[in-house]
Amino acid sequence: MFSGKLFKNVFDPTAIKQVAENLKTIGNKETFIYEQDQTTVRSIFAPHWFDNTLKDFVNNNPMIEIVKDILETDVYTHQVHFNYKSANIGGEYAWHSDYTFWQAHDGMLDPNALSLLFLLDDMTLENGPLEVLPGSENFLVEKKTKTWTIKHDANETDGMITENMVSMTGLQRHTVLGKAGDVYVMHANMWHTSGRNTSSKDRNVLFICYNSVDNKTTKTDRPDYITLKDFSPL
């Protein structure tokens, strides 16, 4: 089973990085999530709705064929957002699995999807790099039990993963370091985290989830900008 891999020097981040900065000012605030200071932007969902350059990139970037090869299926775009880790401010992300939330809230039946992080800045030890737990994609989290198991009741999951749970797996964690223009691809259910940005430089990424066309989401509870409803294959 595919776990995760860093693909180097995939794209020129210059234009996408500029879009990320512009949307902080001209984007739809409804799609924004903020840091604890309620001022610094932490995420912008569905940014490709507001910029044609980004829309074209989401639909036509070099990683799509690689994703299809890994999943052995055609894919559509399930979720897109910018994740910002502003210099000296960007907060941590606790251990979690993306799929836990997608199954619970979006009705994604299987973790037959991939999460892609397009690095807009260098990812270093100082600026809150991604930390992953290869092999954890085999474990699915139950709600409010703070335990891990092969079985999974998504309707009752809160997605919380503790350090103790990470230790219990016996798996080796891995820190992802890369350059702007690199792309990290990971299994939708692989556990991951990232710390605070304690550096003087931003650490921003474009996040895209591509899902199998045979694995369409079945719930419509969440806003369209969080759970995309266009299932057209790319």
Q: pLDDT tens across 198-229, in order?
A: 999 999 999 999 999 999 999 988 899 999 99
Considering the entire predicted model, what is its pTM? 0.92
Q: Answer yes or no: are the C-beta atoms of 66 and 114 closer than 8 Å.
A: no
Domain with 60 in it: 4-131+175-215
pLDDT of residue 146: 38
- The tokens of 230 are what? 């266009």
Q: Which residue has the tokens 């990320």?
A: 20
Instruction: State how far Cα 109 lies from the chain centre.
Output: 18
11-25, 85-99, 107-121, 155-169, range with the lowest pLDDT: 155-169
Instruction: Map residue 170 onto helix, strand or coil.
Output: coil
Q: Is there a domain that residue 194 lies in?
A: yes
CATH code of 111's domain: 2.60.120.620
- The tokens of 213 are what? 């066309």
pLDDT of residue 157: 40
Q: Is there a domain that residue 185 lies in?
A: yes
Name the residue among 30, 51, 52, 55 with its Cα closest to residue 41.
30
Q: Dump pLDDT digits (tens) for 68-121.
A: 999 999 999 999 999 999 999 999 999 999 998 898 889 999 999 999 999 999
Q: Is there a domain that residue 229 lies in?
A: no
pLDDT of residue 104: 83
- Amino acid identity of residue 170, one-letter, is G
Cross-sheet strand order for the sheet of 174-175: 93-96, 192-194, 130-132, 174-175
List of long-range contacts for 146-150, beta carbons under 8 Å, 24+ apart: none
Is residue 153 over pLDDT 60? no
Name the residue among 109, 134, 113, 105 with its Cα closest to residue 207.
113
Q: Is there a domain that residue 162 lies in?
A: no
- Amino acid identity of residue 2, one-letter, is F
Q: Is there a domain that residue 220 lies in?
A: no
Name the residue among 117, 89, 115 with its Cα closest to residue 195.
89
18 Cβ contact partners less than 8 Å away, ≥ 6 residues apart = none
Q: What's the pLDDT band for 161 if we cut at 50, 70, 90?
A: confident
Number of residues written out for the chain: 234
Interatomic CA distance for residues 170 and 106, integer angstroms: 30
Q: Is there a domain that residue 165 lies in?
A: no
Q: Is there a domain that residue 210 lies in?
A: yes
* Separation in Å, CA 70 to CA 113, 115, 141, 212: 10, 12, 24, 11
pLDDT of residue 144: 40
Q: Dump pLDDT digits (tens) for 27-73.
A: 889 999 999 999 999 999 999 999 999 999 999 999 999 999 999 99
- Count: domains in the chain: 1
What are φ and ψ of residue 145, in 5° steps? -100, -20
Q: Is there a domain that residue 103 lies in?
A: yes
How many CA atoms lie less than 13 Å away from 230 in the CB half-sphere?
10
pLDDT of residue 165: 87
What are φ and ψ of residue 163, in 5° steps? -60, -35
